Each structure stands twice: as C-alpha cells, then as structure tokens.
Amino acid sequence: MKIKSLITAFFLVTQLSILFAQSPKHELRSTWLTTVWRLDWPSVTVPAATGTNDAERQVAIQQQKNELISIFEKLKAANMNAVYLQVRSMCDAFYQSSYEPWSAFVSANRGANPGYDPLSFAVEEAHKRGIELHAWLNPYRYSTSSTTHGELPTDYYYTHRNWLLAYDSYTKILNPGLPEVVLQIKKVVGEIVNNYDVDGVVFDDYFYAYGGTSAVLDSTAQRLYKPADKNLGDWRRENVNRMIKAVYDTIQSVKPFVKFGVSPFGTWTTDQVVATKEGIMLPAGVGATGNMYAEIYCDPIAWLKEGSVDYVSPQLYWTTYSSYPYGKLAPWWSDITNRFGKHFYSSHSISALTAASSAPALKITKSGFDQAKTHGLSTLELHMFSRKSLTKIARIPYATDFEPSEVALQVGFNRSSDVNDAPGSVFYAADKLINTSGFISYLKQNVFTQPALTPVIGWKTSANQSLVENISLSGQHLTWTYAGSNVRFAIYAVPTESRNDVSVFADAKYLLGMAYNKEFDVPATVSTSTHKIAVSVVDRYGNESSV
C-alpha cells in the first residue's frame, strides 16, 4: 500500500510540475459580492437618522466604506479585474432609485437613506484600482421572509399587488408574465446605466421560483397573455426571454459598451429532445442535475441565439471530477457560447474551499493541462478529494472540502477550452475568497500571476482611439494626457533590453495594470533608467490602441 501511495504521489508531482504558464492577457477575473442578508458586505447597517445620532451614522458609513475598500484592495492584490456588486436583491436598492426603496441591508430600516450613495462610492473606488464594477441585480425576487417582505406604502405589495406571484405568505416574485413587470425592470436597469458609470449589468439565476410554479399561480396572466396554442412551459420561457431582450435593448440604447450577462444554473436542460431541436448534444458523463429549463423556465441557449446577452456565467458549482464534472461542463459551455459568438465566464463555488497554507503550487498551461486531463484524471481526483461525498446545499451539490489547487484546475479548464481570447472566472462568494487563509496569495502566485485586461467585446462597433501624449514619471507616479474621454488605459513597463522586441505587448508579461484616470503608481522596481514605460488606450468595449 505504501509503494502504491508513493507511485501515486510521484505521478501527481510530475503532472502538476508541467502546469506552468503565464496568465493570459485577456481574462475576466471577478467575484460575486453579496449584499443580501449582508453575507459579504456590509457588516453593519447605517442607523436611521433621529436628529441626534449623526456621529453614530457617520461611524457606520465610514465602516461600510472601509470594508469595501479593503475588499477591493484584496481583489487587486490577487490580480483580479472585476467585481459583481449586488445592488438590488429584493426590489430594493443600494443606490438612489426613483422606483424602489433603499435596502434594509445598507440602512437599518428599509427605505431609509443611508447618508451616502453606496453604488457611486463603489464605482469610484473600484475604478481607482483599475477594477470593473458590474451591477448585480435580481430581476424578479421580491421577498423570501417576513423580514424582507416590506411594509412601506411604496412597496409593490401595496402599490402593485397584482404584479406579485405569491408562493407562500412571504415568498413572492414579480410576475414574469406581465408586460408591466418587464417595463418596470427595464426602467430600473435603465436608471442604473444612465446614472452610474458601471461597466456591466448582470442577473443571477432567480427567474420563476425553484421548486416549480403551479398552473394556478399565474392563471390570470395566462388568460390575458398566453396564446391558446402555446404550452405553459414555452410561454413562461418566452416571458423570461422577453425580459432579457428588453433589458439588453435598453442598455444598447443608453450605453452599449456596458456589458450584459446572466448567470444561469450550471446545466441547461436534461432533456435531449429539447437539445436536439437546437442541434445541440448534451455533455456526456454528467449526473442528473435539476432541469431548470422546465423548473424555473431558464433558457440561456435562447438568449445566446437571439444575441440578447454579451456573456453567460453558468453556476458550475461542482468540483472538477465529481459526478457533475466541471472538467466536462466548462468545455461544453465554452463551445456553446463560442458557437453564438459570445463569451463564457464561468461561475465557480469556493464555498468548500480550505486554507491555502499547505496547498501545492499549481500553474496552468494549455498544453500541460491537456496532458494532465489525458493521463491524470483518476490520480488527481483521488488526491484532490479525500472526501468526495456530495450533499444538497441550497439546491446544488458541493464538494465537502477542496484545496485551492482545485480552483486552479477549474481556471485551467476555462483557459484550455477558450478559443476566442475570452476566458473568465467569477468566484462565489467574496467573503470566502478574501478571508480564506492564504488564498489571495495563492491566486497571485499560481493562477493570476500577471494582471489582465478584460476580454474584448469585439462584435460591437467602436471608434478608433488616438495615442496618449506627455507621459511623465515623477518618483513612482506616472501621468499622461489624452484628448478623448470615456476610455481606460493599460500601462506597461518593458525592460530596456527588451525595448525592440516586437512581441512585448502581445501578452501580459510587462503589463502593470489598468487605469480609468490619467495617472498610475508604478512599482518601486520600475524606473526610467531600467524600463521603457508605455501607455495604451483601452476603450470601454476592451479594444486596445497602439501604445
């Protein structure tokens, strides 16, 4: 038995040692920053104003701000370049809304002004660090409990009770079958995109409720709007699809550079008949997951086919070689999204992540990763998961524990499967990412070893950009001038001896980072005596000009 273990360990080491490479130049690296129930942020709410407690309120506001800055600093330290901030979880707002009340997760009372605008602050602080901010909204969810139901006279329960589908006394969603609901969601998204300099808008997987929706529940909407010859499932999917398309069109009419994505359940359907109609083969060797095509009426293939999303971020919340193998699902999703000319940014669960202190170094290349896939599946599986039993947690089976090297393998599958220079990873959730001992360092040293620009949205029309001018370094503070607006900048430091290499800007080797303003603090190891410093313009679609 000991000899077998030694052979297994030797084989594992040889497999892991080949997985070494530089990070790709374009890659989305984000996290879901959850505000519902204050799961990730903020840890405190701002007390309601009483006229005598302004100092107490200011302390709470500053604590919220400090916590958010700390999160962004840790994301930057891991070479991540985006954050998905939940700004509307239950028909409420973490921003100044004309349509819905302030969230009780930012203020002590629903509807109470927290004394500052969290979304405006978050955009400013993220952009200071070269991090994209995507506004994460739950389009339909209204309430899940008595404490989130809302008792304000302006809440939908009082102003538009007919808009709500009530699954029980407090579990309610906006009725997807009503045109008025679609219009309201359009207005909510349009206001955010108009008023805030967000880089993206993203929805998660809450459509019709998990567990099923009885035919009686939305019978009134069926009578008014469902064609007699259309079955109920198709009609409900069309309702969701219509909302997705309406939101996409709204964004295009306001700021087409704002990316729009949706994060559906990790599998599309379990029905091969449905897949065959679209000319799609379902991934082989995947256990029986839930059929969310039929349960919550979620059809991401329809969104991709219609071009009403820029990307999808399926919730592949399973480990690499489990019964629901990430190693098969990620390539399948990558192939499907590429077929429709859009992007696949996988959502990973790190809820079962253990501390990184003893994790082995693991770096990824496409060729090395393919070799490991071919020769090392069972060995890697046995090593990574000493306890592989899956349990049902919040609808989705998770591994009980896994090391950071599992995350590296998942990112490796994304990169290995990518064919359009647009891999992406979104980690759920931020608290686990930033507070798991050693994980930030592990990402920086082994996975995201260089900064990266976000992928290019190349199917949209964009103007050519001119060059920056007057680059100047004072101490470690870099500045430049540029006549245009609504752009970002990529900063490079090329060692003087490599200045004539025509490929120096082809990858991320010399990329220092991204800036939204015309200034950047370069590392202490960079100076004009040792490096040539270059700045390029990156438009909001991700297209990069000459340096």
List phi, psi (to 5°) of 29: -135, 105
DSSP class per residue in 7-56: HHHHHHHHHHHT---PPPSB-EEEEEE--GGGSSS-SS-BPPP-SS-HHH
Q: In what order do the strands lie in the sheet with 346-349?
A: 315-316, 346-349, 424-428, 28-33, 82-88, 132-137, 200-203, 259-262, 311-312, 343-344
pTM: 0.90
**pLDDT of 136-150, one tens digit each?**
999 999 999 998 998
Radius of gyration for the chain, computed over Cα atoms and rounded to the nearest angstrom: 24
> Residue 380: which of 346, 409, 350 has the closest Cα?
409
301 residue type, one letter: I
Residues 219, 226: Cα–Cα separation, whole Å: 10
pLDDT score recorded for residue 514: 98
> Residue 267: which of 200, 320, 326 has the closest Cα?
326
pLDDT bucket at 393, cuts 50 / 70 / 90: very low
pLDDT bucket at 323, cuts 50 / 70 / 90: confident
Is residue 465 within 8 Å of residue 537, measured between CB atoms? yes
**pLDDT of 180-212, one tens digit each?**
999 999 999 999 999 999 999 999 999 999 999
Three-state SS for 235-287 is HHHHHHHHHHHHHHHHHHHHCCCCEEEECCECCCCCCHHHHHHCCCCCCCCCC
Q: How far is CA 527 from CA 429, 499, 515, 532, in A?
A: 38, 14, 19, 8
Place of tokens 């979880």: 89
> Residue 173: which of 266, 246, 85, 181 has the closest Cα?
181
**pLDDT of 354-392, one tens digit each?**
875 433 333 434 443 343 333 332 222 222 222 222 222
Is residue 430 within 8 Å of residue 33, measured between CB atoms? yes
Name the average pLDDT for the chain.
Answer: 89
pLDDT bucket at 287, cuts 50 / 70 / 90: confident
Kind of pairing, strands 346-349 and 315-316?
parallel
pLDDT score recorded for residue 356: 55
- Per-residue pLDDT, averaged over 148-176, amounts to 96
Sequence-ordered list of residues with C-beta below 8 angstroms from that of 3, at least 6 positions apart, any chain? none
Is residue 49 within 8 Å of residue 112, measured between CB atoms? yes
Is residue 75 within 8 Å of residue 427, measured between CB atoms? no
- Residue 427: strand pairing partners: 31, 348
